[in-house]
Structure 1
Amino acid sequence: MKMSSEQPKPHVVVMPWAAQGHLNPAFQFSRKLVSKGLAVTLLTFTDEKITQVAAGGTESVAVEVISDRGLLANADGNFLANHRKLVEVELSEFVGRQTVRPCCLVYDSIMPWAVGIARELGMVGAAFFTQPAAVNGVFLEVMEGRIGVPPEKGMVTEVEGWPAAMEVCDLPSFVSDVLDSPSRRMGLEMMAGQFSTAREADWVFCNTFYTLEEKMLNWMTTQSIQMKPVGPTIPSSYVGKEGPTQTNSNYGLSLFNPNSPQTSITQWLDSKPPSSVIYASMGSVSNISQTQTSELAQALQLSTHPFIWVVRKTEQDKLPPKFISETTSGLIVDWCNQLDVLAHPSVGCFVTHCGWNSTLEALCLGVPMVAIPVWADQPTNAKFVADVWYVGARARADIAKDMMTKEEIGDRIVEVMEGESGDKIRRNAKKWSALAKEAIGDRGSSERNVQEFVTALVHGRLA
């Protein structure tokens, strides 16, 4: 529903946490609201010098970056409280500067207190969950005391809405880790704390789609949380909504400075047969040990398939000596446009840490996965990839060695790329790709949820 030119557009502020995995879905959601006639400002708190606004497409979403005054770089036990105080002051000042006063705050769910700030400023509040409903369900159970932290060894967790029983190793690392640390406590406080005000929010959005997590989303409703799926939030040119254009083929915001030219990567992929290439990336944040890096390197080298592996500059010293110079069947880069690579017909497998954005991208583009989860939500995502959606295989750690061996990773690559198991996984990947595209199509479930929100906002029926 588009506004008439005679009336000011309703102004929505979208406030994500300043991490790449949160910025990407928030910015895509903002673009969707703009496409329906709203005015949107994406407001985030971080060091301006490390935030890049990519060319193309950002003109439709206003972006305001406010310095976090070094809070994140010097995080301590008071970080969360200090960050909240900063947001309270700066958001109030930002709202006061606007010609058209914002009527709605869409806030990252890991800032649950923001709903109270929104109300004080005369706005309605909408929580935006960037992780899947399955992971959110775990943290709701923790918040309400039905899952202990850490869980009992060997415990199997079952919840009515979950389509599969969860072992301890399937739970998010903030829950399952037995080693206590300040970072673990902060992570758990942020993740479980998302639900401290979830029932108070006027709207609750989640970056998933209904058919993917139907049971979990229905279960959330029984817990008095109406979680509306609005995903997958990836650029529209990759899900068949429009042809590729400059404005809809990238996420729009980046905290990184890529050095590897995409042209050379595409040319390399063009030279490979269809579905023959292993694409490996452990994400923009996850760190794996030097020993685990070596095992992954050897697994890729021993594979019969060509591979492209993204290894961040800061991680390349963990590679085996001479690995880059002696590799003939693979391409090692420090960055790539992941969506372009996953969409390329030569790619047959994605070796991934199973961060939620990466998992959703693979699901949307129909690429089978080999899951190598590291921390946070990744073990739970990996569980669903392998055992619920059947779109990949999960590499299991050797308990004695505390890592996934090259043999285990290699076996899972074979499972996904070859034989009857590979055929089954590819069929499932294609099925989920079609359902993801259907969800954000003109009559899809996620599209309807976004339109319902916009219509309510336009007609003043948000609360």
Structure 2
Amino acid sequence: MAEQHKTKKPPPPHVLLFPFPSQGHINPLIQFAKRLQSKGVKTTLVTTIFTSNSILSNHSHTTIPIESISDGFDHGGSAAAGSSEIYLESFREVGSKSLADLIRKLQSGGTTINAIVYDSFMSWSLDVAMEFGIDGGAFLTQACAVNNIYYHVYKGMLSIPPPDSSRVSVPGLPELEYWETPSFVHNPGPYPTWSHIVFNQFSNFHQTRWVFSNTFYKLEQQVIEWMKTLWPLRVVGPTIPSMYLDRRLEDDNDYGFNLIKPNHSECMEWLNDKPKGSVVYVAFGSYGELGPEQMEEVAWGLNDSELNFLWVVRASEEEKLPKGFMDRKSEKGLVVAWCRQLEVLSHESVGCFVTHCGFNSTLEAISLGVPVIAMPQWTDQITNAKCLEDIWGVGIRVKRDEKGIVRRVNLVSCIEAIMEGEQGVVARRNAKKWRDLTIEAVAEGGSSDKDIDAFVSDLNHSH
């Protein structure tokens, strides 16, 4: 019996992963969890009660257990709070106590927790982890370029807003016009609570054991090298289902957690009937909201392009569509409330992607080699658009007028340039190059794979 006890295999290390409770923040950590599981790490996803109850798809195939905590709005989530200020403060106060209660419950039941990887927007999570002597790792869901700018604001090295005439210079990036910085930097007034969160996410980074980033080394090499002088940075992206990249994880063809029901079969049947490279795919993310005037310009711009288009318009946005538009789009256009974006982007009929440039959509376009027309709205999207056009060379930014509106003629011009012009040829060539580099990064022995292995090694040694 003693000999059996000596040879008993120790349990695997166990990591709690705690994303901010929105689709765009949950997906990257879900994929990170899958990569960790493939390397023998036990993972548990922690989310809010409302989010857990809102998941639509059958996520059992992901084999990631879910534990729920309260954010103070268990029956309505952030929408029930009335404002982002009220919600975020409640999430910090109630969430801190509820997360601590969850840790006590797990530990009292004999579950060991070796690390908590938390969304960097919730810096208070590290304080909770440290109360229990658990190592914490901050997970950056936005580009290193963007977080580099935020850090310079946090340290007082960059004023907000910058003077209108100034050019912004930070390590690892070309000079930016002031308006090419994230909206929280050049126009912080409308969202003071969010501005506080993105700037102060670095306040306790000196106490983290790891800082993770959902990017890959060659995409942001100079910025990453600079950031590694500050923190123990692990670059683990792009966190996209394996079947679209290296195909090492069996059946990993979807994120597995949907908060909005996709019109999947309708999209695929429609795309299957369209010629190769003929479709303009348009989507502005799970949060993007266009004003009625902007919605009208996009609608008639797509109509005037006379090309096939697939446009995602969430149910809450449908009423902004101009009268008569749905009657005139005919067989050339399909408008759906939601879709499985990876399957759409990887479909051979898709020729370009009109995007808000959220970082998940940015990485998905790059990873699947699809050229983009960048139409950013707010937050990090403006800087991502700059990178897509001027640094990574995979698309063009559409110009706005003095009212900040993208007019239909400008949209049509960009669509023609990407779908039919020389700019499109260059963008497609660069997009293919980046696709090859993303696969290289996550493949066995690639830069991102090595950083995940280093994290697993840390866990095993401390375990």
User: Structure 1 residue 275: deviation in Å?
Assistant: 1.0
Separation of aligned partners in 2, 1:291 and 1:50: 35
State the match for 2:30 in structure 1: 27
Larger CA deviation: 410-419 vs 201-210: 410-419
Paired residue for 1:359, among 358, 362, 378? 362
C-alpha contact 2:96 2:124 (8 A) present in aligned 1: no
1:238 aligns with 2:244: yes
Measure, in 2, the Cα distance between the counterparts of 1:281 and 1:53.
20
In percent, how many aligned pairs have the same letter? 39
Q: Residue type of the partner of 1:201? A: T
Find out whether 1:421 has 2:435 as its counterpart.
no
Q: For residues 358 and 254 of structure 2, what CA distance do their matches in structure 1 show?
A: 18
Q: Deviations over 1:99-126 (max 9, x none)?
A: 2221101011011232222121121010
Aligned residues: 448
How do 1:413-452 residues align onto structure 2 when only pairs under 5 Å count? 413-452=415-454
AA aligned opposite 1:175: V
Q: Distance in 2 between matches of 1:150 and 1:5?
A: 60
Counterpart among 368, 372, 382 of residue 371 in structure 2: 368
**TM-score where L is the length of structure 1:** 0.93
Match of 2:3 in 1: none
Q: For the residues of structure 1 that align with 2:126 and 2:51, how far apart are their CA atoms?
A: 25
Q: Secondary structure, in 3 states, of the residue corresponding to 2:361?
A: helix
Shift of 1:5: 7.5
Identify the range of structure 1 (248-257 vs 449-458) with the bigger mean alpha-carbon deviation: 248-257
Secondary structure (helix, strand or coil) at the match of 1:280 reads strand
Whole-angstrom distance in 1 between the partners of 2:453 and 2:39: 8
Unaligned runs of 5+ in 1: none
Q: Identify the residue that residue 175 of structure 1 maps to in structure 2.
A: 185
Q: Is 1:43 paired with 2:46?
A: yes
The structural deviation recorded for 1:77 is 4.4
1:92 is the counterpart of 2:100: yes
Q: Distance in 1 between matches of 2:84 and 2:381?
A: 25
Cα distance change, pair 460–24 in 1 and its aligned pair in 2 (3 A): same
Report the 3-state secondary structure (helix = DSSP H, G, I; strand = E; otherwise coil) of the residue aligned with 1:360. helix
Between Structure 1 and Structure 2, which shows a larger proportion of helix residues?
A: 2
Counterpart amino acid of residue 231 in structure 1: G
Structure 1 counterpart of 2:286, one-letter code: S
Matches of 2:248 and 2:139 in 1, distance apart? 25
> Could you tell me which residue of structure 2 aligns to residue 115 of structure 1?
126
Distance 1:325 1:35 in 2: 49
Partner of 2:221: 214
CA distance in 2, matches of 1:76, 1:355: 19
Superposition pairs of residues 241-280 of structure 1, within 5 angstroms: 241-242=247-248, 247-258=251-262, 260=263, 262-280=264-282
Q: Name the counterpart of 2:391.
A: 388
Q: Which runs of 4+ in 1 moved over 3 A?
A: 56-59, 75-82
Unaligned stretches of 5+ in structure 2?
Answer: 1-6
Contact 2:151 2:199 in 1 (8 A): yes
- The question of whether the paired residues in 2 share the 8 Å contact of 1:95 and 1:101 is answered with no
Aligned 1:201-350 pairs, distance under 5 A: 201-222=208-229, 224-242=230-248, 247-258=251-262, 260=263, 262-328=264-330, 329-350=332-353
Structure 1's 59 and 266: CA in aligned 2 closer, same or farther, altered over 3 A? closer
**Are the aligned partners of 1:50 and 1:255 in contact in 2 as well (CA < 8 Å)?**
no
Question: 1:35: Cα distance to partner?
Answer: 1.2
**Residues 47 and 69 of structure 1 are in contact (CA less than 8 Å); yes or no, is this contact kept in structure 2?**
no
Residue of structure 1 equivalent to 2:135? 124
Question: Separation in 1 of the partners of 2:130 and 2:254?
Answer: 33
Cα deviation for residue 307 of structure 1 reads 0.7
Aligned-pair CA distance for 1:28: 0.6
